[in-house]
A and B are shown apart, each in its own frame.
Chain A
Amino acid sequence: MAIKNILVPTNGGGADGEIIKLACSLARRSKAKVYAVYIIEVERSLSLDTQVDSETEKAEKILTQAEDTAAEADYDVETDLLQARDAGPAIVNEAVERGVDLIIMATTYKKPHGVPDLGKAVYYVLKEAPCRVLLYRDSVS
């Protein structure tokens, strides 16, 4: 499959580095562009453009880490910081706007109430994203 643009939503989890490396190695074959994005979810009680310093600082660290990981893999990544009410629609919107062919997302397998839960954003992306989606679950250890 020919890939031109890959979107990697980051969340600060332990698998971020791995999915960035994976995206870079997949992108290298077809010289595709890699976009890493972090979405700050703003509570509905606040205006959407409210800048929450602690969240912004955290997002900057995560995206800088993503840039460093890509640099170590000898590849360029373009990073973006978004604010939205929910991460899912923001990821899909970003994928549509950028004409992304592949979204690589990290997830964890949890069963909070005895029911497997991959997270709201993952379900939304799986349901709505028009492109391919690759889910990555880190090793349990």
Chain B
Amino acid sequence: METNWRPKLGDKFIRRPRAKTHPLKRVLGAFGLFSAGYGNVGSSIYYALGLVALIALGATPVVLFIAGIFFIFTALSYAEGTAMIPEAGGSASFARRGFNDLFGSITGWALVFSYIVTIAISAYTAPAYLGYFWQPLTAPVAGTIAAMGIIFFLMCLNIIGVKQSSIFNTAFAILDVLTQILIILLAILFIFAPHPQIFSQNVIGNWPSAHNLILGIAIATLAYTGVETVSQLSEEARHPAITAPRALILMIAVVMILFTGISVAAFSTMTPTEMALEWARDPIAGIAYGLSVAIVPEEVAAGLSSSPAGIIVITAIFAGILKILPALVAILATTILIIATNAGLMGISRLTFSLGRFQLIPLAFSRVHHKFKTPYRAIIFFSLVALLLLIPGFFAPDTFIILGGLYVFGSLLAFSLAHASILRLRIRHPELSRPFKLRGNIKFKGCELPVTAILGLVFSSAIWLTVVMTQPYTRWVGFGWMLFGLIFYLTFRHRKRLPLIQAAREIKLPVD
């Protein structure tokens, strides 16, 4: 465009940097949100199944189902909260709005802890699956070193700020779902249906003690890691009031079906003791191996076809599937677990950014690097904590259980506060727009309180207390972390002369 226009002598202009209160682009639809959420929740089955089997033995399918019902309550509360408050803080935002900044800080700090443990446990499990290709990786020392290497590598990537492709996430979510469906179908059609007594023997014959059953339910909540992800991504979602609840409901349906199917497949192919002793860190690899041993392609072919040509073709197809399956599971599980580790780091970045914005954590954590535009301090600090959590992996054989307990401590505390916040918001702010409102309400002093949130609060608090009372390591590390966070928050607020409990204003985040 040719022009002779020039500014006059007095015409001067200054371009001001924008505060960017909404720095994230709204690009995700309901399926995009589901894929990201499923990437987290779906990955947890790759380690949670083995961990639950270590404790709940034959009752693993039952405790997974009970924890699944709790997951429905939690997902529903998150659906109402996210549609009402579409902010990256997730349950920390619900608590801040429902109660006050102190509760918001406690919830945020608990969430940060669960993210750190997610990073540690996902990275710790990935080398076990890679052991299919290189056996030494299944050894404790080599496996822990590899896990630390994964975290360090992803920490560097996240500091530089490499973008994670949404298409990549979606493709792996679809591939993962398809592989799990294949495993379930093979197990149900060719092992469970002809020999249902194997499954019932494995379940009934290995029933755990009452204590282990309750602890198993607590640990089984680990299988549903990642329900927070959809909430966190709501600031990047188109029409979050509609898409977030849809994504959460879709996730409930898919996860419940797959987890039930996988647990049936697990105990159709191996005993709980086998899983606990040999496949605790890589249970899906165990199922794939079990299927490749238990299914005889020639027998399947003979049952499906009577013509010799048909038998040859079907035998070749099944032999090929069963040969590829263990390798496919190893590659897929490793990739999904690395994605989950990365999602944990990205989740922490988003969360600290949100907590920093509302002055719930010291600003030092939320500083953004001048060149990479990433909250590098938070990424480095929390990655180092995740590396520290992995140190017992070198010498403690029960590291896996320890990490599971720590995750449950952080996430259940955050879930309990999320349920409480949803109830509190119904009482304190009934006027707020709720595009997704939970049904099944009971009237209390003129307020409508959702039954699912009440049950979710009771259930999650009870299980959290069980874990705190029965797991000394989890108790001390968990409370130590929370105390550290509380002191940090109070010191920061006191130094900044901000109210300790009441809300502080939203701020622009500093750039180094």
Q: Which residues of A contact B3 (CB under 8 A)?
A: 96, 130
Chain B CB within 8 A of A80 CB: yes
Q: Are B11 and A93 in contact (CB under 8 A)?
A: yes
Tell me which residues from 1 to 31 in chain B have a Cβ below 8 Å from any Cβ of chain A. Answer: 1-3, 5, 7-8, 10-19, 21-22, 25-26
Q: Are B11 and A67 in contact (CB under 8 A)?
A: no
Q: Which residues of B contact A76 (CB under 8 A)?
A: 25
CA distance A56 to B12 in the complex (A): 18
CA distance A74 to B27 in the complex (A): 8
Q: Are A83 and B5 in contact (CB under 8 A)?
A: no
Tell me which residues from 42 to 77 in chain A have a Cβ below 8 Å from any Cβ of chain B. Answer: 48-49, 51, 56, 60, 63-64, 67-68, 71-72, 74, 76
A56's contact among B11, B16, B238, by CB below 8 Å, is which?
A: B16
A81's contact among B7, B12, B16, B239, by CB below 8 Å, is which?
A: B16
Q: Are A82 and B18 in contact (CB under 8 A)?
A: no
Q: Are A64 and B1 in contact (CB under 8 A)?
A: no
Q: Are B238 and A86 in contact (CB under 8 A)?
A: no
Which residue of the partner chain B has the closest CB to A40?
A: B16
Which residue of the partner chain B has the closest CB to A39?
A: B13
Q: Are A89 and B8 in contact (CB under 8 A)?
A: yes
Q: Are A128 and B22 in contact (CB under 8 A)?
A: no
> Given A89-B7, A93-B7, A96-B3, A80 and B18 touching (CB < 8 A)?
yes
> Given A63-B18, A89-B7, A93-B7, A101 and B1 touching (CB < 8 A)?
yes
Q: Which residues of A contact B14 (CB under 8 A)?
A: 48-49, 82-84
Q: Which residues of B contact A67 (CB under 8 A)?
A: 22
Chain B binding surface, main DSSP class: loop
Q: Are A71 and B238 in contact (CB under 8 A)?
A: yes
Q: Which residues of A contact B19 (CB under 8 A)?
A: 60
> Given A83-B16, A84-B13, A85-B11, A60 and B1 touching (CB < 8 A)?
no
Q: Are A81 and B11 in contact (CB under 8 A)?
A: no
Q: Which residues of B contact A25 (CB under 8 A)?
A: none
A44 to B: closest C-beta gap in Å: 9
A81 to B: closest C-beta gap in Å: 4
Q: Are A83 and B13 in contact (CB under 8 A)?
A: yes
Q: Which residues of A contact B2 (CB under 8 A)?
A: 130
Which residue of the partner chain B has the closest CB to A67?
A: B22
CA distance A82 to B14 in the complex (A): 5
CA distance A96 to B25 in the complex (A): 27
CA distance A93 to B13 in the complex (A): 9
Chain B CB within 8 A of A6 CB: no
A15 to B: closest C-beta gap in Å: 22
B28 to A: closest C-beta gap in Å: 11
Chain B CB within 8 A of A135 CB: no
Tell me which residues from 228 to 280 in chain B have a Cβ below 8 Å from any Cβ of chain A. Answer: 238-239
A68 to B: closest C-beta gap in Å: 7
Q: Which residues of B contact A128 (CB under 8 A)?
A: 5
Tell me which residues from 24 to 57 in chain B have a Cβ below 8 Å from any Cβ of chain A. Answer: 25-26
Q: Are A60 and B239 in contact (CB under 8 A)?
A: no
Chain B CB within 8 A of A24 CB: no
Q: Are B15 and A82 in contact (CB under 8 A)?
A: yes
Q: Are B15 and A81 in contact (CB under 8 A)?
A: yes
**Listed A/B pairs (17) with beta-carbon separation below 8 Å:** A40-B16, A49-B14, A68-B22, A68-B26, A71-B25, A82-B15, A84-B11, A85-B10, A85-B11, A89-B7, A89-B13, A90-B11, A99-B1, A100-B1, A101-B1, A129-B5, A130-B1
**Residue positions of A touching B, CB distance < 8 A:** 40, 48-49, 51, 56, 60, 63-64, 67-68, 71-72, 74, 76, 79-86, 89-90, 92-94, 96, 99-101, 128-131
4 cross-chain pairs, A with B, having the tightest CB-CB distances, nearest first: A130-B3, A71-B26, A89-B11, A83-B14
